Amino acid sequence: MGLIGIINKDRDVKRLFENLKETNSAGGYEFAYLRSEEEAVNFLNNELPHLIVVNFTDLQLNISGIMEKIAGDDWLYDFGIIALYHKDEISEEELEEQYGDYNIILALTYEQINSDLIPPLKLIDKNCQLVLQKPLSSTLTGDSAGSFIIGNNLDNLYLYTRILVHSLAKDGLVERSRSQQVQSALIELLTNAIEHGNCRISFEEREKARERGMEANELVSIKNQNTLYRTRKVTLSWEKRENRLYIKITDEGDGFNTDRLNLELANDAPLSVHGGGIAMANMIADDLFYNKKGTCATMVLDLNEEEEDRPIPEGFMNEEILVVNPGDVVIEEGSFSDSLYYISRGTFSVYAGNKKVARLDGSDVFMGEMAFLMNSTRSASVVADTPARLVKITRDAFLNVLRDYPHYGIYLSRLLAQRLDRANKLNFQLKKEMAGKKDEPVGAS
């Protein structure tokens, strides 16, 4: 499956991971044990992982120091963390309070490693890669979009929403101070979609089960004994359009009449539906509504028009800062390439000739790197769409930085490989569409 870095020096904890390997319960993963700050930083620099495991109560390591080192170059070290902790040393709430600024996706006690680590690790690993990949559709439009298909159970809702909110916050689409509230609202809406939508569990049925001491996931499991319910899914999708983020939760149930509910939501009136989940989500969202059939809830978040600057890499802190206005030409097609640019803020359109071929933003990290590295002329022009801030990196500065920060070169190589892969997929998709059009009969509509 892959190599997972574990920042840990505690022998007892290491033994727990070794036991996973010995019992063939490691899910195909290999573990790299990082027993010092130097080993941890070297691993992160060379592997550039999207996920690591950190033992936050390891008394033999200066965990705070390691995390501060990581935070010093957080444009590069932007990964998810599975946190391990000793329940007698710290509570999960205290862990969140102390290390809440880091991207902790899941927290587990030592006792949970053998039983509860690998299944969520696979889910996180798979879906972190999914949300970190820029979709083909966003290459031209610049708008972020994606989706998860979630099975008809409540067990993994926390993880799915944590992964999504972590990614949206990383891209500046959800304010970090608001991320916990947004996650709570999504969990409530997803729970409603599974319980009341897919499983057709009524409020009365749910209350009677609660009186018998039955948890919600137990009731859903009973419903899933029926194939009709068990095969149903929930789609969690998101799309950024202009200055709004639309998050949709779509179930495969029979739906309900939403006319009255939508009117109540629009007017912030008391809700006629039972339960507080929708009311809570409505308080957190800037807008919330259901489709006519009642199978899709759309939660809308207004985006902050004042885009936050992405942190400037430590190695480029002394380079020239360019403040760019909308309409400014940053790169001109056919010109010689003596520099590349780090995108701290702003969005840009890319033109080949007079045709718009792509759009760039902070998630692309750099612009102008291809011609810069190949020592050739620019193949396209880049024009600012919004107020922007760039770091201009000359060839001499780039080479000097690579001597002091060689892992920057690895990161740039990985970015180029991802872009090449995306371009190949887009080219394949376009060829497929063109071939389909050639096969259409004349006059076909």
Q: Are 113 and 121 in contact (CB under 8 A)?
A: no
- DSSP bridge partners of 339: 394
pLDDT tens digit sequence for 411-435: 888 777 777 776 677 677 767 767 7
- Mean pLDDT across 356-381: 88
Ranking 188-192, 344-348, 372-376 by mean pLDDT, the lowest is 372-376
Mean pLDDT of the chain: 85
What pLDDT shows up at residue 100?
A: 75
Q: Are 335 and 377 in contact (CB under 8 A)?
A: yes
Q: Are 120 and 155 in contact (CB under 8 A)?
A: no
Ranking 13-22, 41-50, 129-138 by mean pLDDT, the lowest is 129-138
Examine the pLDDT at 220 and tell me if it is beyond 60: yes
Contacts of residue 175, Cβ cutoff 8 Å, sequence gap at least 6: 169, 304
Contacts of residue 104, Cβ cutoff 8 Å, sequence gap at least 6: 80, 81, 82, 83, 95, 96
Q: Are 100 and 169 in contact (CB under 8 A)?
A: no
Q: Are 194 and 154 in contact (CB under 8 A)?
A: yes
**Residue 194: which of 217, 170, 215, 169 has the closest Cα?**
217
Burial of 290: CB neighbours in 10 Å, binned 0-12, 13-18, 19+:
buried
Helices marked H in 231-343 — which ranges?
Answer: 259-266, 277-284
**More confident position, 59 or 172:** 59
Token pair of 141, please? 């439009």
pLDDT tens digit sequence for 42-86: 898 888 887 899 999 999 999 988 888 777 776 667 688 899 999
For the chain, list the domains and their CATH numbers.
Answer: 1-120 (3.40.50.2300), 134-305 (3.30.565.10), 314-407 (2.60.120.10)
pLDDT tens digit sequence for 260-312: 888 888 888 887 776 678 989 999 999 999 999 999 999 999 987 666 788 88
Q: Are 85 and 7 in contact (CB under 8 A)?
A: no
Examine the pLDDT at 230 and tell me if it is beyond 70: yes
What pLDDT shows up at residue 416?
A: 79
DSSP letter, residue 50: S
End-to-end CA distance of the chain: 46
